[in-house]
Amino acid sequence: MGEGALAAFQDAFAQALLADDVSAEIANAPPEWAALVRHPAFAVYRNTVTRGLVDAIVANHPAVLHLVGDEWLRAAATVYARRHPPGDPSLLRYGDGFDRFLASFPPAADLRYLADVALLDRAWSDAHGARDDPVVDPATIAALAPERLAGATLVPHAAARWHWSDELPIHALWTRSRRGDADLGDLAWRGEGVLVTRPRDAVEWIAVGRAACAFLDACAHGRPLADAAAAASRADRNADLARLMAMLLDAGAFARLVVDAGR
């Protein structure tokens, strides 16, 4: 083989590995590569690659698995894997964008909650492997004078993920699916939010409201607490801000309190 032959081999091999239809892939290939791909054992490589990626999607989405079953999820994951092979060799978090894929996957059209459930499964994986941040002690907030608190910022914990759904009881749905609860019959179909954290060594989550999610969004954008509180009040004018902050601090949503030295 001459210069660049290895690259050409790898181009052809990689394409045939993930192709939906191998025979179409080799129609224009040089005869020796067509023979390679046509060899019955080439299927071992195709199967190993697809199974490895599909296994990762299934392992990373236990709540989705509970809702749709193994056969359905494997079929969907096979389509996803062929379109979106990973860029990162760590398959612990393979499936970035799987929620968006499900949202536009025709067989999931009647399962309008599935994308949100996948998003939270992903949030769990993110939280599990996130940096070991410290957790803000609520006492440091309590000790701060109100005027300094207004200008301070709370930096979300590296493991904190939150999601609000206007229409779905996503906290109840995801919690029951994660637990493998067979009975999803008596859900109240109204909007809910979830905050996923890992304040110590285990991933935890709680139900949160629209106001808490707006507060966390503002904090994530580096806004001072006065702005975050205003955003929370806009999202829900009945929000009890003191209780909301206490709940988020208790859940371990924040890694640092930054007090502006100039104020």
Binding mask 189-208 for another protein (x = CB under 8 A): ---------x--xx------
Considering the complex, state which of residue 48 and residue 140 has its C-beta at the smaller distance from another protein. 48
CB 262 to another protein: min, Å? 32
One DSSP character per residue, 7-32 reads HHHHHHHHHHHH-S-HHHHTTTS-HH
Residue 133 and residue 157 in contact, taking contact as beta carbons nearer than 8 Å? yes
- Of 19, 22, 29, 36, the residue at the interface with another protein (CB under 8 A) is 36
CB 188 to another protein: min, Å? 33
Residue 59 is a binding residue for another protein (CB under 8 A): no
Residue 13 is a binding residue for another protein (CB under 8 A): yes
Map 127-151 to HEC letters. Answer: HHCCCCCCCCCHHHHHCCCHHHHHH
Q: Looking at the chain, list the stretches that DSSP marks H as alpha helix, in order from N- to C-terminal side.
A: 5-18, 22-25, 31-38, 42-60, 62-68, 70-83, 98-103, 114-128, 138-142, 146-151, 170-179, 210-220, 225-235, 241-251
Binding mask 66-95 for another protein (x = CB under 8 A): -------------------xxxxxxxx---
Could you list the residues that contact another protein (CB under 8 A)? 1-7, 9-11, 13-14, 17-18, 32-33, 35-36, 39-45, 48-49, 52-53, 56, 85-92, 127-133, 158-159, 198, 201-202
